[in-house]
């Protein structure tokens, strides 16, 4: 990789950036307090996508409290996530904990016979006490199978940051829900055709359908999504199967698919007009379609995106943006804001930077970008205050305090919950960043109040 990485871990502090040389931005690594979510939070959107799945966290009251706080009001519909809260007795002896887990899962599955996949989600406490949830999942799968499968992944804060929970979940699904057909295998049964293209990453249904339709127009027919709308659905792949990641945080999933012989299509992530265009061109090229043909298919959608973005651009152009680390979407989103909306990027914090996954995004970036991997909260806040950017993209724990200091913020979790991929969402994506400015402008507007002389 052409990108230089400065590892400053040894002295915790961020500090000096070495003058950039070569291509791409310089990446600084920072250690200190991380103001980020753990991977458990991804349950909040994953359970909406896979409607036959239940997510059972094995953890502490803190885990339950986190998921409840992150899920907000969603918890009150018949929830498809919960926590098996460890107590003193579980900590005393591990054999006992496995019996306890079996009892809780029995109770849960008998109450919810509609559940087809139960995800046992590891947490910090369960990992520190080394509760073997992988083994528990196997045991419970054979006990409740074949109708109800049990799959394990970790969403702990010590292992995963926010969206990495989705990566861990999908990677576990690749191991357990994906079948590989090779040439040597006997002719598969009817209807079991290996996917030609797999879209990897949880997408809003409306976005998924848009991509499917355009790809179908291009001539691709056997398209599957991971995750599908049913978690119990099995996905069949072979050596010809290509996959493309819809978000940058799916490195582990990508690696497992590659180990099954599938090949990843390197592409920029489909944010904005340019990102989505490049994405379609990359996918088209991987399947041997001429770029003319791809451009013909996407042209109407491109035009619509252009219209919407042109309207938004004046509100963002020339403004300076600062990203705190959160989801790993920061780099492609900053790229979109810089390239298509004319914003100036002050600093891009990322919780984690996977160079290979991000290669297509990093290549065209200017060398003077400051990319910071990891976090030292106080120092990053100090840099942010000193830079006084026009817009700060940050988490909910920082947003109001920074607003109170007179900065404009965009809270980042919304970028994960809102459909933002593709042409017809490009305007919505830009709008997420303009909304705060529009609101400030409205609140600043003063209609004179007439008073008696």
Q: Interface residues for another protein in 242-261 (CB under 8 A)?
A: none
Under the binding rule (CB under 8 A), the answer on residue 158 touching another protein is yes
Widest pairwise Cα distance in the chain: 94
Looking up tokens 């018949």 gives 78
Under the binding rule (CB under 8 A), the answer on residue 100 touching another protein is yes
CA distance 156 to 132: 14
Q: Reduce the DSSP state of residue 399 to 3 states and report it.
A: helix
Burial zone of 137 (CB within 10 Å; 0-12 exposed, 13-18 middle, 19+ buried): buried
CA distance 280 to 274: 10
Q: How far is the CB of 143 from another protein (least distance, A)?
A: 17
- What's the token pair of residue 231? 């978690």
Q: How far is the CB of 79 from another protein (least distance, A)?
A: 5
- What's the token pair of residue 123? 């947490």
| Contact residue for another protein among 46, 50, 53, 66 (CB under 8 A) | 66
* Contact set for another protein, span 288-327 (CB under 8 A): 300-301, 303-305, 307-308, 310-312
Strands 117-122 and 197-200: unpaired
- What's the token pair of residue 319? 């403004």
Q: Reduce the DSSP state of residue 226 to 3 states and report it.
A: strand
Strands 53-59 and 263-264: unpaired
| Contact residue for another protein among 8, 26, 42, 156 (CB under 8 A) | 156
Binding mask 121-140 for another protein (x = CB under 8 A): ---xx-xxx-----------
Query: For 301-357, what is the HEC assignment?
Result: HHHHHHHHHHHHHHHHCCCEEEECCCCCCHHHHHHHHHHCCCCEEEEEEECCCCHHH
Q: How far is the CB of 265 from another protein (least distance, A)?
A: 25
Cβ nearer to another protein, comparing 54 with 279: 54
Q: How far is the CB of 306 from another protein (least distance, A)?
A: 8
Under the binding rule (CB under 8 A), the answer on residue 270 touching another protein is no
State the DSSP string of 261-296. Answer: T-EE------BHHHHHHHHHHHHHHHTT--HHHHHH
| Contact residue for another protein among 6, 17, 79, 359 (CB under 8 A) | 79
CA distance 276 to 339: 13
Task: Cis check for the bond before 406: say yes or no (omega within 30 of 0).
Answer: no
Binding mask 373-402 for another protein (x = CB under 8 A): -----x----------------xxxxxxx-
Q: How far is the CB of 219 from another protein (least distance, A)?
A: 19
* Contact set for another protein, span 175-204 (CB under 8 A): none
Q: How far is the CB of 360 from another protein (least distance, A)?
A: 26
| Contact residue for another protein among 24, 122, 157, 227 (CB under 8 A) | 157
Per CB under 8 A, the segment of 16-24, 60-68, 268-276, 316-324 that binds another protein is 60-68
Under the binding rule (CB under 8 A), the answer on residue 35 touching another protein is yes
138: which residues sit within 8 A by CB, 6+ positions away?
150
Cβ nearer to another protein, comparing 179 with 428: 428
Looking up tokens 């001429």 gives 290
| Contact residue for another protein among 1, 5, 17, 104 (CB under 8 A) | 104
| Contact residue for another protein among 83, 148, 177, 327 (CB under 8 A) | 83
* H/E stretch holding 244: strand 242-245
Cβ nearer to another protein, comparing 237 with 381: 381
Q: How far is the CB of 270 from another protein (least distance, A)?
A: 16
Q: Reduce the DSSP state of residue 452 to 3 states and report it.
A: coil
Under the binding rule (CB under 8 A), the answer on residue 368 touching another protein is no
| Contact residue for another protein among 41, 241, 277, 380 (CB under 8 A) | 41
Per CB under 8 A, the segment of 89-97, 177-185, 218-226, 233-241 that binds another protein is 89-97
Measured at the alpha carbon of residue 26, what is the angle toward residues 20 and 31, in degrees to the nearest 5? 135
| Contact residue for another protein among 5, 6, 85, 286 (CB under 8 A) | 85
| Contact residue for another protein among 270, 427, 433, 436 (CB under 8 A) | 427
Under the binding rule (CB under 8 A), the answer on residue 416 touching another protein is no
Exposure string over 319-338, b if 16+ CB within 10 A, otherwise e: bebbbbbbbbbbbbbbbbbb
| Contact residue for another protein among 27, 28, 44, 86 (CB under 8 A) | 86
| Contact residue for another protein among 12, 222, 344, 385 (CB under 8 A) | 12
Under the binding rule (CB under 8 A), the answer on residue 108 touching another protein is yes
């Amino acid at each position: 990789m052409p990108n230089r990485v400065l590892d400053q871990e040894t002295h915790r502090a961020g500090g000096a950036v070495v003058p950039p040389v070569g291509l791409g931005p310089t990446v600084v690594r920072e250690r200190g307090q991380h103001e980020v979510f753990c991977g458990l939070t991804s349950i909040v959107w994953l359970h909406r996508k896979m409607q036959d799945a239940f997510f059972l966290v094995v953890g502490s009251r803190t885990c339950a409290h986190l998921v409840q706080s992150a899920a907000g009001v969603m918890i009150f519909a018949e929830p498809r996530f919960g926590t098996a809260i460890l107590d003193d007795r579980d900590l005393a002896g591990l054999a006992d904990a496995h019996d306890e887990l079996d009892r809780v899962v029995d109770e849960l599955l008998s109450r919810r016979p509609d559940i087809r996949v139960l995800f046992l989600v590891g947490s910090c406490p369960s990992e520190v006490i080394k509760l073997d949830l992988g083994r528990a999942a196997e045991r419970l799968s054979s006990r409740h199978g074949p109708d109800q499968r049990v799959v394990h992944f970790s969403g702990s804060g010590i292992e995963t940051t926010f969206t990495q929970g989705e990566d861990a979940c999908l990677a576990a699904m690749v191991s357990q829900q994906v079948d590989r057909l090779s040439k040597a295998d006997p002719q598969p049964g009817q209807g079991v055709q290996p996917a030609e293209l797999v879209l990897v990453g949880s997408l809003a249904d409306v976005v998924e359908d848009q991509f499917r339709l355009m790809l179908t127009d291009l001539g691709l027919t056997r398209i599957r999504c991971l995750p599908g709308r049913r978690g119990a659905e099995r996905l069949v792949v072979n050596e010809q199967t290509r996959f493309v990641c819809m978000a940058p945080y799916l490195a582990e999933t990508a690696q497992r698919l590659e180990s099954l012989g599938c090949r990843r299509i390197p592409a920029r992530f489909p944010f904005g007009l340019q990102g989505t265009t490049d994405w379609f061109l990359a996918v088209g090229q991987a399947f041997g379609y001429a770029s003319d043909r791809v451009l013909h298919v996407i042209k109407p959608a491109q035009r619509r995106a252009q219209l919407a973005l042109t309207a938004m651009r004046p509100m963002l152009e020339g403004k300076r943006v600062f990203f705190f680390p959160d989801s790993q979407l920061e780099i492609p989103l900053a790229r979109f804001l810089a390239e298509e909306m004319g914003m100036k990027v002050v600093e891009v914090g990322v919780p984690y930077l996977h160079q290979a996954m991000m290669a297509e995004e990093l290549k065209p970036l200017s060398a003077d970008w400051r990319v910071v991997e990891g976090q030292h909260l106080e120092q990053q806040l100090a840099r942010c205050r000193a830079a006084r950017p026009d817009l700060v993209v940050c988490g909910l724990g920082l947003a109001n305090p920074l607003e109170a200091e007179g900065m404009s913020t965009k809270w980042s979790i919304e970028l994960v919950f809102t459909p933002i991929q593709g042409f017809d969402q490009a305007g919505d994506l830009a709008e997420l960043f303009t909304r705060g400015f529009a609101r400030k402008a409205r609140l600043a507007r003063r209609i004179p109040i007439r008073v008696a002389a």
